[in-house]
């Protein structure tokens, strides 16, 4: 494995994979890119590189993962070249922005992937992208802290290029869309989302609302009630049966029809 940067001279020796070339790294808006044919987890490798001093804007990509994971330790099917399996290293300095980072990344991905989707992309709080009833992509955010400040954040993303055999009800981008195209489309807006400060703006809340998969639907988790959108802190607003509205900041969203 090699790591290429845009500053490398054109006379640099050949690299192991075209994605690691300085030109491709620059087109993706990155500082460095590490490509692997196989990894246990791009998330684990990103943490290793970040601990060793890798700069913000370093991306780890694998053709396949043996131990890809999502929130709560759930496994993620990462079949060879069947999708985009990657983790981006950033070094943000605003703890408040970390609370809404998964939502910002979701909105960035939805907009970037819209031209390559079979249908409208919806956002499922807090970290999934759907097309119809099928999951298209998932996001996993893991931060490492030094005292009261984040030292780095690893932004893991999995996007289906084809429907995985393990999850026949999932969604995927169009068959003619290459992983190279997806990388160049999604990474620059991901980096912009990671650089944003503070909680969600009114415009961002409206952007989420336009793609919200849950709003107005009955849910059983993280608490029972009816989903009523999100607030500026990224919390899920839930209207309880007694009419009170609660803000929920953690957990997985389960629709009532899925639990029945």
Q: Are both 123 and 246 inside the same structural domain?
A: no
Q: Are both 109 and 176 inside the same structural domain?
A: yes
Q: What is the pLDDT of residues 44-78, one digit of tens each?
A: 999 999 999 999 999 999 999 987 666 555 666 67
Q: Are both 223 and 119 inside the same structural domain?
A: no
Q: Are both 83 and 113 inside the same structural domain?
A: yes
Q: What per-residue string of b and e applies to 102-129 under the rule 16 or more CB within 10 Å gives b?
A: bbbbbbbbbebbeebbeeebbbbbbbbb
Q: What is the pLDDT of residues 88-125, one digit of tens each?
A: 999 998 989 999 999 999 999 999 999 999 999 999 99
Per-residue pLDDT band for 10 (boundaries 50, 70, 90) equals very low
Q: Which residue in 48, 183, 65 sits closest to 116, CA to CA?
A: 183
Q: Are both 121 and 144 inside the same structural domain?
A: yes
pTM of the model: 0.90
Q: How many domains, in total, are found in the chain?
A: 2
Q: What is the pLDDT of residues 145-196, one digit of tens each?
A: 988 889 999 999 999 999 988 888 999 999 999 999 999 999 999 999 999 9
Tell the residue number behind the tokens 């055999």, with chain if given: 165
Q: Are both 41 and 86 inside the same structural domain?
A: yes
Average pLDDT in the 202-220 region?
98
The CATH number covering residue 121 comes to: 3.30.930.10
Q: Are both 224 and 144 inside the same structural domain?
A: no
The CATH number covering residue 223 comes to: 2.30.30
Roughly what angle, to the nearest 10 degrees, separates helices 101-113 and 202-211? 60
CA distance 67 to 157: 14
Angle at 240 between CA 235 and CA 245, to 5 degrees: 45
Q: Are both 185 and 231 inside the same structural domain?
A: no
Q: Are both 46 and 9 inside the same structural domain?
A: yes
Of 199 and 7, the structure prediction assigns the larger pLDDT to: 199
What's the mean per-residue pLDDT of the chain? 91
Q: Are both 238 and 203 inside the same structural domain?
A: no
74: helix, coil or strand? Answer: coil
Segments forming the whole domain that contains residue 56: 3-211
Q: Which residues are paired to 146 by β-bridges?
A: 149
Reported as type and span, the H/E element at residue 248 is strand 245-248
Is the Cβ–Cβ distance between 90 and 101 less than 8 Å? no
- C-alpha pair distances (Å), 171 with each of 54, 70, 96, 119, 135: 33, 17, 32, 10, 5
Q: What is the pLDDT of residues 20-47, one digit of tens each?
A: 999 999 999 999 999 999 999 999 999 9
Residue-wise DSSP of 124-188: ETTTEEEETTEEEEEEEEEEEEETTEEEEEEEEEEEESS--TT-TT---B-TT--HHHHHHHHHH
Q: Are both 237 and 192 inside the same structural domain?
A: no
Q: Are both 139 and 72 inside the same structural domain?
A: yes
């Amino acid at each position: 494995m090699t790591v290429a940067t845009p500053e490398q001279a054109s006379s640099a020796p050949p690299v192991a994979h075209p994605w690691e070339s300085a030109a491709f790294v620059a087109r993706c808006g990155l500082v460095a890119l590490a490509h692997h044919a196989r990894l246990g987890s791009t998330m684990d490798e990103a943490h290793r590189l970040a601990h060793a001093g890798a700069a913000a804007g370093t991306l780890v990509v694998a053709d396949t993962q043996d131990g890809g994971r999502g929130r709560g330790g759930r496994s993620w099917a990462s079949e060879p070249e069947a999708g985009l399996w990657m983790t981006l290293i950033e070094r943000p300095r605003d703890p408040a922005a970390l609370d809404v980072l998964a939502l910002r990344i979701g909105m960035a991905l939805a907009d970037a992937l819209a031209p390559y989707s079979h249908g409208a992309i919806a956002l499922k709080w807090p970290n999934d992208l759907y097309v119809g009833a099928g999951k298209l992509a998932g996001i996993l955010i893991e931060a490492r802290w030094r005292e009261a400040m984040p030292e780095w954040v690893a932004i893991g993303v999995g996007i289906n290029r084809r429907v995985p055999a393990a999850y026949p009800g999932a969604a995927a981008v169009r068959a003619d869309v290459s992983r190279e195209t997806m990388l160049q489309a999604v990474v620059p807006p991901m980096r912009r989302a990671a650089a944003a400060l503070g909680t969600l703006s009114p415009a961002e809340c409206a952007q989420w609302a336009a793609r919200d998969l849950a709003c107005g639907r009955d849910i059983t988790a993280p608490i029972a009630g009816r989903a009523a959108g999100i607030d500026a802190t990224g919390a899920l607003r839930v209207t309880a049966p007694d009419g009170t509205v609660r803000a929920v900041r953690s957990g997985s969203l389960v629709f009532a029809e899925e639990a029945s």
